[in-house]
Amino acid sequence: MTYFLGIDLGTSSVKAILIDEKGRVLSKSSENYPLHFPYPGWVEQNPGDWWNATKKVLKKLILNSQIEPSKIQGIGLSGQTHSTVVLDKIFFLCGTLLLDTARRRWSEEILEKLEISENRLPSLYESTEVTGYVNKDGAEESALLI
């Protein structure tokens, strides 16, 4: 049997679901992470908290479902909207004004006004495109490799 994993990185928690090839839900799990308010009107999060919560959720899913992780054939991801995450000197962005959703590309006009080079932004993909694979370290940390 083939299984699929869905992970939603929300504003206050990560939620995950494991389904079989017929769409039957085998297991669901969620884990909260903190919001930080360093100044009035500001909200920040630590991306490390996202990863730690995701690892906990995945371990729970695998344990509760008792499936062999190697049978998971696909992972779908969704994330927070209207958030900008800046890590080091690279921008990571899920629904900001930098994205021209109608044209499905980065907004040249906004990038120009903000003096942001498009080559500093991640590539854009359609939801059905394969964009990567789970590496060995990630699989070991998250119980996807047993």
The 10s digit of each residue's pLDDT in 33-67 is 999 999 998 888 888 999 999 999 999 999 999 99
pLDDT of residue 35: 92
100 and 40 within one domain: no
85 and 74 within one domain: no
Distances (CA, A) of 31 to 4, 48, 56, 57, 105: 19, 13, 7, 6, 32
90 and 75 within one domain: no
51 and 110 within one domain: no
pLDDT of residue 102: 87
pLDDT of residue 87: 67
HSE-up of residue 72 (Cα within 13 Å, Cβ side)? 26
pTM of this prediction?
A: 0.81
CATH of residue 18: 3.30.420.40
Classify residue 136: in a domain, yes or no. Answer: no
Query: Which regions of the chain are under pLDDT 50?
Result: none
Domain containing 92: what range? 81-125
38 and 105 within one domain: no
47 and 14 within one domain: yes
Burial grade of 16 (CB within 10 A; 0-12, 13-18, 19 or more):
buried
Classify residue 75: in a domain, yes or no. Answer: yes
74 and 2 within one domain: yes
Classify residue 143: in a domain, yes or no. Answer: no
62 and 34 within one domain: yes
pLDDT of residue 73: 92
Total of domains in the chain: 2
pLDDT of residue 90: 60
d(C-alpha 34, C-alpha 46), whole Å: 8
74 and 15 within one domain: yes
Classify residue 47: in a domain, yes or no. Answer: yes
